Amino acid sequence: MSDKIPVTVLTGYLGAGKTTLLNRILSEPHGKKYAVIVNEFGEIGIDNDLVVGADEEVFEMNNGCICCTVRGDLIRIIDGLMKRKGKFDAIIVETTGLADPAPVAQTFFMDQDVGERARLDAVVTVADAKYLTQRLKDAPEAKNQIAFADVIILNKTDLVTVAELDAVEATIRMLNPAAKLHRTTKCALPIADVLDRNAFDLDRILEIEPDFLEEGHHHHHADDIRSMSFEIRGDVDPDKFMPWIQELTQVQGPDILRCKGILAFKNEPKRFVFQGVHMILDGDLQRDWRNDEARVSRAVFIGRNLDRDAIRKGFFATAA
């Protein structure tokens, strides 16, 4: 395991319960020390020397790529914190309710100094079971946060009926079928479900579910965020796949929030795993395919304005 400091990003629309979750993490007797980067001082009820105020400054990188944005304040704060290595075990970044998680995530891949010393562990989104459906209609930020998440905490479940809860979970699943979802009241859940998830570690991408909501996709509007997953029952030709995925993420990167895949490459005993944030792609060969495993190639894309048929066609054309 690397000695990079894990960083957990907490997102969620205003009032969903981010601060409740943060206070819970900080107050439990886990014996760990967290440095916390917050936007509003004073909300945290815990004494902690390592609480730092951030101002969510988003910088565009001068590389001609409009989606390549980083959080300048985060670069500076992590640089400062790393000079005090050993004083804390992990970093938690709480974003404002209106924040886009992408620049936060991209900071860990685009900034060399940050990437060498810290690793993005997971994006955790807290959602309000009662109001999420409404927020998804009127707040694009809320939709982004759900679509981007690795872990979704569907909170305040005591304020809705079981039927309402199932409905909101189904809505979430249309946006993001891959995230781990936990139903909670007052954000009560084991901290291990939130921290140390290694969601961006290629070695931890174990399974990609087939698209169980395939039938529902026609209800989406074209400008909506949606997820799509595809499966090739067999091998993929890397000489076809690599140029295709690179071009797709270059051209449609601004609209692709997240992508992930596990592929069987022709004549390759190991699984190829990739994941991406907008235009940033990361991929590597992982463990061997097991004998009891079918060699199938699956990929998931979450984004807006994505042409499902074109992506499906493009992906299937890479079959070996």
Partner 1 sequence: MTVTAPVSLTQHVAELEAGEHVIAAAWLGAVPALALSDGAVMVGAQDDQSRVDVHGAAGLLTAVAVGGHLFTGGGDGRVCSIDAHGQMKELARDARGGWIDAIAATPAGAVAFSVGKRVTARDEKGVLKQFEAPSTAQGLAFAPKGYRLAIAHYNGAALWFPNTSTPTQLLEWKGAHLDATISPDGRFVVTSMQENALHGWRLAAKPTDKVAHMRMSGYPAKTRSFSWSHDGNWLATSGAEAVIIWPFQGDGPMGKAPRECGVRRAKVTQVTFHPGAYVIAAGYEDGCILLLRLTDGSELLARPAVKGSGITALSWDRPGKRLLFGCADGQAGLLTLPA
Distance of alpha carbon 202 from alpha carbon 22, whole angstroms:
27
- Shortest reach from residue 84's CB to partner 1, in Å: 5
Measured from the CB atom, the residue of 104 and 273 that comes closer to partner 1 is 104
CB of 46 to partner 1, least distance (A): 15
Q: Which residue has the tokens 């965020």?
A: 225
Which single residue is written with the structure tokens 């730092």? 52
Q: For residues 72 and 238, which CB has a smaller minimum distance to partner 1 in the complex?
A: 72
Of residues 84 and 313, the one with the C-beta less far from partner 1: 84
Phi, psi of 165 (to 5 degrees): -65, -45
Interaction site with partner 1 (CB under 8 A): 41, 49, 52-53, 55, 57, 59, 61-63, 70, 72-73, 75-77, 80, 83-85, 111-113
Least distance from partner 1 to the Cβ atom of residue 62, Å? 5
The smaller minimum CB distance to partner 1, of residues 74 and 102, is found at 74
- Between CA 210 and CA 15 the distance in angstroms is 33
| CA gap 259, 41 in Å, rounded | 34
Encode 18-48: b = buried (16+ Cβ within 10 Å), e = exposed: bbbbbebbbeeeeeeebbbbbbeeeebeeee
Residue number with CB closer to partner 1 (35 or 153): 35
Report the nearest approach of partner 1 to the CB of residue 70 (Å).
8
Spatial distance between the Cα atoms of 13 and 125, rounded to a whole number of angstroms = 9
Residue 260: CB minimum distance to partner 1, A: 28
